[in-house]
Amino acid sequence: MIRHISFLLLLLFLSFSSCGNAHGDQTTASDTTMAKPNSDGLVIKLTAAEFKKLIWDYEKSPSVWKYKGDIPCLVDFYADWCRPCKMVAPIMDELAKTYKGKVRIYKVNTDEQRELSGIFQIRSIPTMLFIPKKGEPQMSAGAMPKESYVEIINKMLSGK
């Protein structure tokens, strides 16, 4: 009986750990306010134009990943209506403060930045894009506990 309850709780958690997102490749007008990359300690909201300027210009080099940042970063693809995204937001705020000067935390609203959602084929939110200073980025879909984000960030910082 305890196993059944544990299994049901796990299923319940997983069902609420991500929200579907089927926006595809549609684009919207970009915000003209540019993010300040030196806003360490804060989660920085990005537009597609800012993403191309600060992280990777997928139009100039669509087949080659070339990270433009000076420190590793994490990009949180989210939507305002997504309950798991709302649960992850305070964790991202904490991580931005904890890793101030070591890792930048960005967020991209998938409803507003549909071009980026299409480029990264975001189908479930929250989706995290972990970008080390060197090497290839890694993606993770669904909400995770803070400890999992900390573990991934620490591996990213150690270069493993």
Of 43, 73, 75, 82, which one is the catalytic site residue?
Answer: 82
The answer to whether residue 82 is catalytic is yes
Of 55, 85, 105, 131, which one is the catalytic site residue?
Answer: 85
Q: Count of CB atoms within 10 A of residue 131's CB?
A: 25
Give me 139's structure tokens: 């993606």
Q: Residues near 48 by Cβ (< 8 Å), separated by ≥ 6?
A: 27, 30, 113, 115, 116
> How far is Cα of residue 30 from the mean position of the Cα atoms in its chain?
19
Q: Residues near 47 by Cβ (< 8 Å), separated by ≥ 6?
A: 30, 31, 33, 35, 112, 113
The answer to whether residue 85 is catalytic is yes
Catalogue the active-site residues: 82, 85
